[in-house]
Structure 1
Amino acid sequence: MLHLILSIVFSTSLFAIFKYFGIYKVNTLQAIVVNYIVAFLLGMLSANTIGSIGTIGDQPWFLGAVALGLLFVTIFFVMAKTAQYNGVSVASIAGKMSVVVPIVFGIILYKESTSFFKLIGIVIALAAVYLSSVKDNESNNKGRLLFPVLLFLGSGVIDTTLKFIETNYVSEKEVDFFSGSLFGFAAFFGLIILIIKYFVLKEKFELKSIIAGVVLGIPNYYSIVFLVKALQNKNFESSQLFTINNVGIVVVSTLLGLLLFKETFSLKNKIGVALAIIGIILVTVA
């Protein structure tokens, strides 16, 4: 149970850290790149696979890891903008509700069974993302919905792709090596973007971005580590654990938004949060 609680705490802290990036005018992309470098080093050191870095190109999952690395840095940036622009609760809901995307892919591509709970969960997920994001009496609601929708779809595509590659190309002994490689490729693509911005836009690297990246990278890495450790607990079924984890992150993020950042919630937003919790439970049960 301790590992599960720590996973929820570290995962929720990511949304709060992104919110502070906006408050303190941190260069989000620079911090995200540093974050992935930190996560990559922590992963490789923990797995004791630093000496195997040169063999990454020979692995059957190499191209998949490259594609996922690019997706990682892109969607993490979208997550940051969602937390800054829409609030930590909306970012957590859009991210956690994306679990329905792999389900839809499974139904379409693999002809998996459809149940009443699955269909209702998908509908609730879409409604939850919309209702939690929209604001009453605002003319730019379409703009407000852009980042949550991109986060919802992007996170779902990452989950779907990750599951496919791990199932078909990654052995149990290579999970740490593969995961660390994903962080490495994300850092690589992020650095390319920063180099281009440096020469084209003359954008200089900021010291506070390095500090912010380290602050982000440590909880980002350990949110995954503690989730994996929680999954190894035989007292919990994975469906129970993912339900508790996802609902916990949504609830704690919402409380953080209310208490720490003084975010305001309309009736629609409150219904959206409630639907998110219900939807997560239904989808996980299905």
Structure 2
Amino acid sequence: MVYLLLSVFFSTSLFVIFKYFEKYKVNTLQAIVVNYLVAFGLGMFSANTFNKLATIPSQQWVYGAMLLGLLFILIFFVMAITAQKNGVAVASVAGKMSVVVPIIFGIVLYKESVTTLKVIGIIIALVAVYLSSVKEEKEKTSAGLLFPTLLFLGSGIIDTTIKYVETNFVKVNDVDFFSGSLFGFAAIFGILILLAQQFSSPQKLEFKNVLAGIALGIPNYYSIVFLIKALQNKGIESSTLFTINNVGVVVVSTIVGFFLFKEYFSIKNKIGVALAILGIILVTIA
């Protein structure tokens, strides 16, 4: 449970950091690439495996790490497009509602328990995610559902893939090495995208973007590491863990946004937070 709480803490800190990106006009793409390089370095340093880099192609989880690295980059861009075309509220809801994908995956593939209390808790949690995330906007967007749907599926596939690769290929002692490697692949894909962008629209690499990337990379790395460590706890089913993790991030992010950034807290948001707490309790008991 400690690993799960740490994952929620570091995941929430990412939203806070992204909020400051906007305030200080940080080039998000440059910072994201630096962030992946930092996370890669942390993983290799934590596992003391810089001398094992040449063994990555022979690892059982190498293809899973490559896929996750690519997904990290792609879903980030899908999230950006969704926010631009459909609005930040829609992007937030689509990303967080994706928790249903790994939940179904855990129940179907791993035959995890399906009790009435768990089902009720998960349904309440999903409703809570929507109510906690939705913002009341004066103007409704007319954009289609393509990108919100891609964001929903992509975020769910990332969580599901992490669970599948961790269960089948990652040894307990290889968590840091695996985590660092998938961030390394994400960095490679990010650098390729950055180079492609430089040909079409050259932009200078600013020092503040490097600092922002470092600030983002540390919690980003640990949010994944502690999530994987939590998944390795056989006492908690993945359907339960993902529900608690995602709803926990929603609740803490909402509270931080209210107190730290004075964000508007509607009646729906308040009801959502209350339901989220109820959902977590029911799923945990189940």
Q: TM-score range by the shorter chain?
A: 0.7 to 0.9
RMSD of aligned Cα (Å): 3.8
Aligned amino acid, residue 68 of structure 1: L
| Comparing 202-211 and 24-33, the one that deviates more | 202-211
Map 1:64-83 → 2, pairs under 5 A: 64-76=64-76
Aligned amino acid, residue 131 of structure 1: L
Map 1:60-209 → 2, pairs under 5 A: 60-76=60-76, 86=88, 91=92, 98-109=98-109, 112-136=112-136, 138-140=138-140, 152-209=152-209
Q: TM-score, normalised by structure 2?
A: 0.79
Aligned amino acid, residue 184 of structure 2: G
Determine helix, strand or coil for the equivalent of 2:136.
coil
Q: Matches of 2:75 and 2:180 in 1, distance apart? A: 17
Q: Between the two proteins, what is the percent identity of the paired residues?
A: 67
Aligned amino acid, residue 36 of structure 1: Y
Counterpart in the other structure of 2:10 = 10
Correspondence 1:279 to 2:282: no
| Comparing 197-206 and 258-267, the one that deviates more | 197-206
C-alpha contact (below 8 Å) 1:32/1:77 kept by paired residues:
no
Distance 1:251 1:40, change over 3 A: same
Q: Give the Å deviation of 1:283.
A: 3.8
C-alpha contact (below 8 Å) 2:99/2:243 kept by paired residues:
no
Q: Matches of 1:10 and 1:114 in 2, distance apart? A: 30
Correspondence 1:257 to 2:257: yes
Distance 1:24 1:78, change over 3 A: farther
| Comparing 112-121 and 238-247, the one that deviates more | 238-247
Distance 1:100 1:48, change over 3 A: same
Q: Give the Å deviation of 1:218.
A: 1.6
Q: Give the Å deviation of 1:263.
A: 0.8
Q: Matches of 2:181 and 2:11 in 1, distance apart? A: 20
Aligned amino acid, residue 168 of structure 2: N
For 1:182-206, what per-residue CA distance to the aligned partner results, in whole angstroms no more than 9, with x for missing partners?
1101111111111111112223333
Distance 1:174 1:142, change over 3 A: farther
| Comparing 218-227 and 20-29, the one that deviates more | 218-227
Q: Matches of 1:217 and 1:267 in 2, distance apart? A: 34
Q: Give the Å deviation of 1:267.
A: 1.7
Correspondence 1:267 to 2:267: yes
Q: Matches of 1:281 and 1:229 in 2, distance apart? A: 22
Aligned amino acid, residue 22 of structure 2: G
Q: Matches of 2:108 and 2:6 in 1, distance apart? A: 35
Q: Give the Å deviation of 1:48.
A: 0.9
Distance 1:32 1:119, change over 3 A: same
Distance 1:142 1:267, change over 3 A: farther
Counterpart in the other structure of 1:54 = 54
Q: Give the Å deviation of 1:232.
A: 9.2
Counterpart in the other structure of 1:219 = 219
Q: Give the Å deviation of 1:100.
A: 3.0
Distance 1:262 1:77, change over 3 A: farther
C-alpha contact (below 8 Å) 2:8/2:249 kept by paired residues:
yes
For 1:54-102, what per-residue CA distance to the aligned partner results, in whole angstroms no more than 9, with x for missing partners?
1211222221111111112334556688999648xx95x8766644321
C-alpha contact (below 8 Å) 2:129/2:250 kept by paired residues:
no
Determine helix, strand or coil for the equivalent of 1:262.
coil
Q: Give the Å deviation of 1:119.
A: 3.0
Q: Matches of 1:64 and 1:15 in 2, distance apart? A: 26
C-alpha contact (below 8 Å) 1:243/1:284 kept by paired residues:
no
C-alpha contact (below 8 Å) 2:101/2:160 kept by paired residues:
yes
Distance 1:246 1:105, change over 3 A: closer
Distance 1:261 1:180, change over 3 A: same
Q: Matches of 2:231 and 2:119 in 1, distance apart? A: 26
Contiguous gaps of at least 5 residues in structure 1: none
Q: Matches of 1:62 and 1:253 in 2, distance apart? A: 33
